[in-house]
Amino acid sequence: CCCCCCCCCCASGANMADELAQTLQQILGTDNEVRKVAEKRYSDARAQNPGPTVAALFQVLSEPQRPDGVREQAAVLLRQCMGKLREDGSTWSKLGEQAHGECKAKLLQLIEGETVPKVRRLVAAVVQGLGNQLIDIEQNARPTNIDIWPEMMPTLMRIIMDGSKDAGLRADALWTVKEMLTCMWQVMVANGQQTLMVLKTCLGDVAVGVRCSAAGLFCEMIDNLDAKAERDAFTPLIQDFCLALEAVASSGSQEQINSVLQAMEGTNNSVEFFKDRVASDLMPRLSTIATSPAQSDTRRLALEVLISFAEAKPKTMAKVPGYVELILDVCVRFLMELDDDLDNWGDQDDDEAEDEEQYTAGKEVVDRLCRCMNKAEQFPKVLDKLKPVLATFLQSQDWKQAVAGITIISQIAEYVDEEVMVVQMVNGVQAFLKAAHPRIRHAAWMALAQLSEDHDEYVTSETVAPQLLPLFLAGLDDPHSRVVTRCMEAFQLYGQEVEREILEPFVQPMMEKLGVKLQSGKTAVQQQTITYIAVLAGQVEDSFAVYYAALMPILKQIIQAVLQKPEERTLLGKAFECVSLLAKAIGTAGFRADAEIIMQAMVQAVQTPNQASNDPVKEYMMQASSRICWTMKADFLPFVPHILPGILEKFQLAPKELNDQTRKNLDGGEGDELNMTLIQGTDGEVKVLVMSTSEMEDLQNAIECVHTFVEELGKLYVPFVAQTAQALLPVFDFSMAEHIRDLAFETWGELCKVAREGSQPDVLSQLVQEFLKRVVPKLEEATGNGIDLEALKTQADGISACLKAAGPGILTAQQLQHIGELCLNAMDVSTKREEVEAQKKKDDDEGADDDDDETDEAAFQIACCEVIGALMRHHQDIFVATFLPRCMPIVQQLVQPSMPESKRKIAIFLACDLLEHLETRITAQWPQFLPQVVADIVSPSTDIRQPACYAVALAAKNPAFAQFAMETSQTLMKVVTDARARAKKKSERPAQAAADNALSAIAEILLHHQPTVAALEAQLWSVWLQALPCQEDEEEGKKNHGVLLQMVQAEKREIVGEGGANLPQVFSILVDVYKSDMATEETSKGIGQLVLKVGEARLEQLAQQLKEKQKKKLLRIHREAQQAS
C-alpha cells in the first residue's frame, strides 16, 4: 500500500501541489472541455497515486497564499478521499496505518490554524466525516476518550474553551463535535461534568456564533440520550439554552438562527426533556420568532419546531397550557399572508403558480396538528380552539380572513366527526362558491373537493347534491380561469361519489359547456375537460353512451394530433383515459370497431423514444388498458400479446444503491421526487437505496394492470402465465414499498387461480412450490434481530393469498405442519418483543404516544393467523390430523377475558377460521372457546365484538349451535338495535360494522334454528329487516341482502308483511343496494328479475313511497332487467 507523506516538504511534493492546484483551478473553470480533462487527470492521480495525491491536497490546503476557491475545492476532494473507509479499494484503505495517523494529525492542525471561515468549515467537515466513519462505540459503553482517534476530542475541547481563539474557530469546533455526536455521545456522557461546563460556558459566550453552535450541540446531545437519567443531568442548562436562542434570534444572523431552529426540531427525547419548560421558556421565544418581522423561512422554521413537538409526543403537548392555541394562532397568521396583486394571481395557472410559502406552511401545519392530535384522541381540543376563529372568519368582509377560514375547513374536514359540524362546514363553503372575490371562490372549491373526499356520504346526499350540482354547472363559466380549474378539479372528486340518478339530470347541460371547451384548442382546457367528461362517463355508465358517437371522433382526432408531441403527453394520457371510460359506457359491441385503433395508438404512445422518466402516458395507458379489458373481457384477448411484453418490462424496475454514478443519473432527472430506504447487506454494511417516484408508480401501475388482465380474463390467460410469473419474481425482493410487493403476491395468487381453473395442475404446482420456496423461509427471519415487521407481514399475506387461490391438494402434511409451526413461532417471538418494549416504556408516562411498534407487531401476528387459516381452508383433514392439537391450546388460552385485547382478537380470528373451514370437524372442541366467543358479542370493544359476531354467524350454520340459539339471538338483537340508534359519526363506523355482522348471525340462526327460536322469530325478522341495509361491512352486506332477496322471492310473511305491507321498505333496501358494493352480481340480477315479476302496476304503487332518487333508480333497474331478459 502507498504511504501518504503528509509533511510534503520535498521539492517533488511542492511540484505536485502546484500541479494539483492548477488542476483544481481548471476544474473550477467555465471551459467544459478543459474541466473534463482536469477531472480525469485528478481521478487518474487519485486512483494510481493515492498517497501523493492526498499529500498534495493537504499541502494546497495549508498554503494560505493560494486562491480560496482552490483551497475550498481541495477540502471537498480531501473529504471524498476520506470517505467510504470500509469499501475495498477506497483511497483510505490504500494509505496505510502510518499515513492514517498523519492524516488525522494534519486535519487537527489545519482546523486550528485556518483563518478563512469557509475553508475552515470545509476542513471541519472532513474531520467530522472521518470521525463518523472511524468511531464505533458500543451503545452501553461509556469511555472517557475515543481510542481510534485519541487526540481529536482533547484538541477540539481545548479550542472550544480557549477564549483567546477566534470565535469562528471555536464555533466550528463545536459544530464538529455536534456532527459526530451520534457515534460518540457516550464519551460526552462519561465526561459529564466537563460537558456541562463546556456547554454552559459556550451558551453564555459573548460571541453569538459560539452560542449558536453550542445551542446546536446541546439539542443534538439531548436527542441522542435515550436514558432519562442521562438527559436529566442537562436540565440545569435549559435556561442558558433559551437565553442563547434569544440572543441568536436578536442578532440578525438568519443563517445562525435557522441552524438553531433546525436543531430544535422535536424528537421523543427532546420533548420529554423540555416538556416541563415548553410553556414557560420555549413557547414565548418561538412565538416571538414566528410572528416577528424576521425572514419568512426563519418564521416557518419556528413553526416547524412547534409542530414537530406535537408530532413527536401529541399527548404530552396536548397537556401543555396554551400550546394548541399558540400553534393555531401562528398558523392563522400565516394563512392570511396572501398576495394582494389579484391580476398577478389570476394570470398564473394553479400548477405553475408561485407558492405563497407562508400560506402553504400554515395550511400544512393545521393538517399535521389535527392528524397527530386525532391519533392521540385530542382533536376535539383543537376543534374547540378553532370554532371561534371559524365563526369570525367565515362572517368577515376581509377576503383574506375568509380564505383563511375556508382553508381551515379544508384541513380539519378529515378529522371532524360530528354530523352537525359537517353540515355547518358544507353550508359555509357552499355560500362562498358564489362570493364576489375570486380567491374566496377558489378556496371554496378546494374545500368542497376535500369535503367530497372526507364526507362524501353527506355532500353527495339526495338533499345536498341538488344544491351543489347547479353550482358546479355555473362554475364552468366563472370569469377567472383559475377558479374554473379548481371547480373542474373539485368535480373529479365530487362527481365520482354522486349517485347516478342524482347526477343524470345535470349531464346534458354540463356536456353542452364541456363540448365547447373540448374544442377550444387550448391544451390546459382540453386536459381539464377530458377529465371532467371521464368522471361523468364513469359515473352514469351506459346512459353516457348517447355521447359516444359525437365524442369518440374528437378524442381520436386529439390522440392522432398529439401522439408525437412530447409537450402534450398529459393531454394524450387523459384522452386515453376518457376513451376507456367511453368504452365502458357503450360496452363491448359499441366499442369493438374502435378498439384496435385505440390499442395500437396506446402501444405506439408508450414506445415513443426519449420520453421523460415520469412520462404521464404510461400510467394512463395501463389504467386505460385495464378498463378496456374489464369492458371487453374475452374480446380483449387478441390485444394481450401486443401490450403485455411492454408492461412486463416495467417489472424490472428496482431501486439502486446510492453511489456516485446513481447520483449523476438522478441529477439528470427533472421534477421527479426520490424515495430512499436503508437496508443491511449480508456483510452487515448499511446501504442506501434510491428509486424515483415515477419509477415506483410505473411498477405499481404495471402490476395493477396485469392483475386486472389475470382477474378479468381468468382461464383465458393461461398462455401467458409462465411469462408473467417469470417477470414477477424480481418484485418479490422489492423493498422500497410493501404495498407494491403485496400487490405482486396477490397477482401471483391470481395466476395460481388461473392455472387451477384452466386445468393446469403441473403449472399450478410449480407456481405454488416456487412461491413457497422463495417466501416461506422469510418467516424464519421473524425470530431474528433488526427485523422489518412490515416486510414480514407482506410475506405472510402473500403466503395466505397463494394458498387460498391454489385450492385443495397442493400441500403435503409435512409442508402444512412446517408452515404452521413457523407461524406460531413467529407469533410467539413477536409477543416477546412486545413485552420487552412494554417494559422499556413502563417508566415513561407518555409511552402511549409511541404505539406504532405495538400496532405493527399486532398486524404481523394477525397476518400469521391468516396463514394458518389458509392452511385449513383447503386441507381440512390434514390440518385436523396434524396441526389442530397445536392450535387449540393457543386459542383456548388467548380467548380468556384476562388476556390483553390484542391477544383475544387473535384467538377469535383463529376461532373464525376453525368454524368456517373445519365445520363439524371442530364441534367437539367448541367447549374450549365458543362460550367465551358468544359472550364477546357484547364486548365494549368493537375490535372484539365484530369478529365475535362473525364467529357466531359461522357457528350458527352447525346444528350443534341450537343450545346457544335462543339466548344468543336475544343478545344479537340488542347489539343491532343499540348500534343503529347511535348518531351518525365516523367514529361510530366500527360499531355499525359489528352490527352488520350481528345481522348475519341473526339471519343464520333464523335459517338454521327456526324451531329453537320460534317464539322470537317474528321479532328477530323485524329487527333484522329494520336494520337493513348493512352500512359498513361489504361482505356481510352481500350476505344479508342476498338473504333478503331470497325471503322476498319466497314471499316470507315476516319479511313482506301482511298483504305486502313491508314491500315499500323492502324495495327501498333492494333498490339502494342494486349494483353497489353491498350486493353480488347475482343478487343485483335477482333484484331486476323481481322488479319484472312484480309488474308495472304494482311498481307504480310501490314507487309512490320511495324517494325521488330511488324512483329513478327503480326505473333503471326495470329497464336493465328488460334488456337482459
Contact 948, 934 (CB under 8 A): yes
Q: Peptide bond preceding 1029: is omega within 30 degrees of 0, i.e. cis?
A: yes
Handedness of CA 1067, 1070, 1075, 1081 (dihedral sign): negative
CB atoms within 10 A of CB 722: 15
Q: Indicate whether 672 pLDDT > 80.
A: no
Q: What is the pLDDT of residues 763-780, one digit of tens each?
A: 999 999 999 999 998 888
Across 30-54, average pLDDT: 91
Q: What is the pLDDT of residues 109-131, one digit of tens each?
A: 999 999 999 999 999 999 999 99
Record the cell numbers describing residue 1035, joined without a space: 361482505
Three-class DSSP category at 962: helix
According to the model, what pLDDT value does residue 349 have? 80
Contact 180, 134 (CB under 8 A): no
Contact 922, 960 (CB under 8 A): no
Q: Whole-angstrom Cα distance, residue 1011 to residue 1020?
A: 13
In degrees, rounded to 5, the angle at the alpha carbon of residue 114 between the alpha carbons of residues 110 and 117 is 130
Sheet holding 656-657, edge to edge: 656-657, 686-692, 674-680
Q: What is the pLDDT of residues 619-639, one digit of tens each?
A: 899 999 999 999 999 999 999
Q: Which of 281-285, 836-840, 1026-1030 has the lowest mean pLDDT?
A: 836-840
Q: Whole-angstrom Cα distance, residue 916 to residue 573?
A: 46
According to the model, what pLDDT value does residue 9 have? 40
Q: What is the pLDDT of residues 177-214, one digit of tens each?
A: 999 999 999 999 999 999 999 999 999 999 999 999 99
In degrees, rounded to 5, the angle at the alpha carbon of residue 176 between the alpha carbons of residues 170 and 182 is 140
According to the model, what pLDDT value does residue 914 have? 97
Q: Indicate whether 609 pLDDT > 90.
A: no
Q: Whole-angstrom Cα distance, residue 472 to residue 532?
A: 11
Q: Indicate whether 585 pLDDT > 90.
A: no
Record the cell numbers describing residue 775, joined without a space: 417466501
Q: What is the pLDDT of residues 1038-1073, one digit of tens each?
A: 999 999 999 999 999 999 999 889 999 999 999 999
According to the model, what pLDDT value does residue 685 have? 62
All residues at 6 or more sequence positions from 983 whose CB lies less than 8 Å from its CB, including other chains: 419
All residues at 6 or more sequence positions from 909 whose CB lies less than 8 Å from its CB, including other chains: 862, 865, 866, 869, 947
Q: Indicate whether 683 pLDDT > 90.
A: no
- pLDDT interval class at 306 (50, 70, 90): very high
Helix axes 989-1008, 1017-1026, angle to 10 degrees: 150
CA trace torsion 777, 779, 782, 784 (10° rounding): -10
Q: What is the pLDDT of residues 1091-1107, one digit of tens each?
A: 999 888 888 889 899 99
Q: Whole-angstrom Cα distance, residue 256 to residue 420?
A: 48
Q: Indicate whether 4 pLDDT > 50.
A: no
Q: Which of 835-844, 884-893, 1002-1011 has the lowest mean pLDDT?
A: 835-844
CA trace torsion 959, 963, 965, 966 (10° rounding): 150
According to the model, what pLDDT value does residue 833 have? 87
Contact 827, 774 (CB under 8 A): no
Q: Whole-angstrom Cα distance, residue 422 to residue 765?
A: 54
Q: Whole-angstrom Cα distance, residue 530 to residue 617?
A: 14
Across 852-878, average pLDDT: 89
In degrees, rounded to 5, the angle at the alpha carbon of residue 737 between the alpha carbons of residues 731 and 742 is 60
Percent of the chain with pLDDT over 90: 76
Q: Indicate whether 668 pLDDT > 60.
A: no
Whether the predicted model's global pTM rises above the 0.75 cut: yes
According to the model, what pLDDT value does residue 826 have? 92
Three-class DSSP category at 1034: helix
According to the model, what pLDDT value does residue 61 have? 92
According to the model, what pLDDT value does residue 519 have? 85
Q: In 897-913, which positions are buried (b, 16+ CB within 10 angstroms) versus exposed (e)?
A: eeeeebbbbbbbbbbbb
CB atoms within 10 A of CB 827: 23
Question: In terms of DSSP bridges, do strands 686-692 and 656-657 run parallel, antiparallel, or are they unpaired?
Answer: antiparallel
Mean pLDDT estimate for the chain: 91
Q: Whole-angstrom Cα distance, residue 156 to residue 127?
A: 11
According to the model, what pLDDT value does residue 66 have? 92
- pLDDT interval class at 785 (50, 70, 90): low
- pLDDT interval class at 294 (50, 70, 90): confident
Q: Whole-angstrom Cα distance, residue 298 to residue 668?
A: 31
Handedness of CA 20, 26, 27, 33 (dihedral sign): negative
Q: Indicate whether 679 pLDDT > 70.
A: no
Q: What is the pLDDT of residues 1082-1091, one digit of tens each?
A: 999 999 999 9
In degrees, rounded to 5, the angle at the alpha carbon of residue 167 between the alpha carbons of residues 162 and 171 is 90
Across 954-964, average pLDDT: 96
According to the model, what pLDDT value does residue 13 have? 58
Contact 645, 726 (CB under 8 A): no
All residues at 6 or more sequence positions from 713 whose CB lies less than 8 Å from its CB, including other chains: 629, 633, 634, 636, 637, 640, 754
According to the model, what pLDDT value does residue 5 have? 44
Q: What is the pLDDT of residues 899-917, one digit of tens each?
A: 999 999 999 999 999 999 9
Q: What is the pLDDT of residues 389-404, one digit of tens each?
A: 999 999 999 999 999 9
Across 573-597, average pLDDT: 90
